Amino acid sequence: MKKISSVYNGWLLLLLLVTAGCQKVIHVDIKSVGKKYVIEGTVADYDDSYSVIVSQTLNVSDLNLFKGVEDAVVTIAEEGKLPVLLQHKGNGLYRANASGTPGKTYDLFVRIGAEVFTARSSMPQKVAFDSLYTTGRQLVGRRQLIATVEFKDPPGLGNAYRFTQLVDGEKENTIFVTNDQLIDGRNVVYELLMFSSDTTSDLKRGDNLRVEMRCINTDNYNFWYSLAQSALGQSQSASPGNPVSNIRGGALGYFSANTFDKKDLFIK
């Protein structure tokens, strides 16, 4: 399993690469930025879904992009039930063979030495992943195949969705997230658009495409949306901050109770 907590360190490197192309010189005292813990917890509606990755942010000068924390105490409790202790599987990954239920609320507890971090997340109701296909589009000067999904958004505001694209087993790092502000109660056709000049990421015949769909709550939508906006430089702030987190205690990251579905497509 890939450690997605490297998204913070990767985001920092992306920011450095983007600003390197600007003419204005921005002086940043990177020594003044203290290390923080990063917690990424997930509960989903399938077996063995309790998963928490605990790591630390690194200095820009550090060679590696991931440093797992191996001495944390991690539990997840479903409302009305006793906490489940997650076992350390190596390099900061903690897991338990348990599943979540839509409509239930979950509490995360992480203790690292004397520091305690907590979070709460409620799992939304599941929305069916109706279909997956590709659509031809003219983007960034070339014809591309775009992964396209269809689903029916339930009536009533508050639904949000995150999609992940994998090609031949390799995850695409683009963040695909949307809510129902403009699609409430509608049949939705959502295209996973990537505006990249790098043609190596283009879909092509012979690719095995997988798209994963997660129904997420508002807290987690805010996290992924703010992360995407910061990475793209679309924040209203002159200097982008950390993504909006629902972790209490000072750690970065998120805790998400979400549903999960997936579809596979061989591109002919």
Digit-coded pLDDT (tens) for 110-131: 999 999 999 999 999 999 999 9
CB atoms near residue 176 (< 10 Å): 22
User: Under DSSP, is residue 208 helix (H, G, I), strand (E, B) or coil?
Assistant: strand
Question: CB of 84 within 8 A of CB of 118?
Answer: no
CA-closest candidate to residue 96, choices 42, 56, 55: 42
Look at 99-103, 104-108, 173-177, 226-230 and tell me which has the smallest mean pLDDT: 226-230
CA-closest candidate to residue 55, choices 108, 14, 91: 91
Question: What pLDDT does residue 221 have?
Answer: 98
Strand runs (DSSP E) across 123-251, as ranges?
Answer: 129-139, 142-152, 160-167, 170-171, 176-179, 187-191, 208-216
Q: What amino acid is encoded at 209 in this protein?
A: L
Between residues 6 and 139, which one has the greater pLDDT? 139
181-191 tens-digit pLDDT: 999 999 999 99
Between residues 199 and 209, which one has the greater pLDDT? 209
Question: What pLDDT does residue 66 have?
Answer: 81
Q: Which residue has the tokens 């020594």?
A: 31
What is the arithmetic mean of pLDDT over 132-136? 97
| Cα–Cα distance, 125 to 81 (Å, whole number) | 20
Question: CB of 50 within 8 A of CB of 76?
Answer: yes
Residues 6 or more apart in contact with residue 147 via CB below 8 angstroms: 132, 134, 165, 191, 192, 203, 209, 211, 265
What is the arithmetic mean of pLDDT over 216-244? 77
| Cα–Cα distance, 31 to 28 (Å, whole number) | 9
Residues 6 or more apart in contact with residue 170 via CB below 8 angstroms: none
pLDDT confidence bin for 236, thresholds 50/70/90: very low
The highest-confidence range among 53-67, 92-106, 238-252, by mean pLDDT, is 92-106
Q: How far is CA 152 from CA 25, 161, 182, 185, in A?
A: 48, 12, 13, 7
Strand order in the sheet with 142-152: 129-139, 142-152, 187-191
Full-model pTM: 0.84
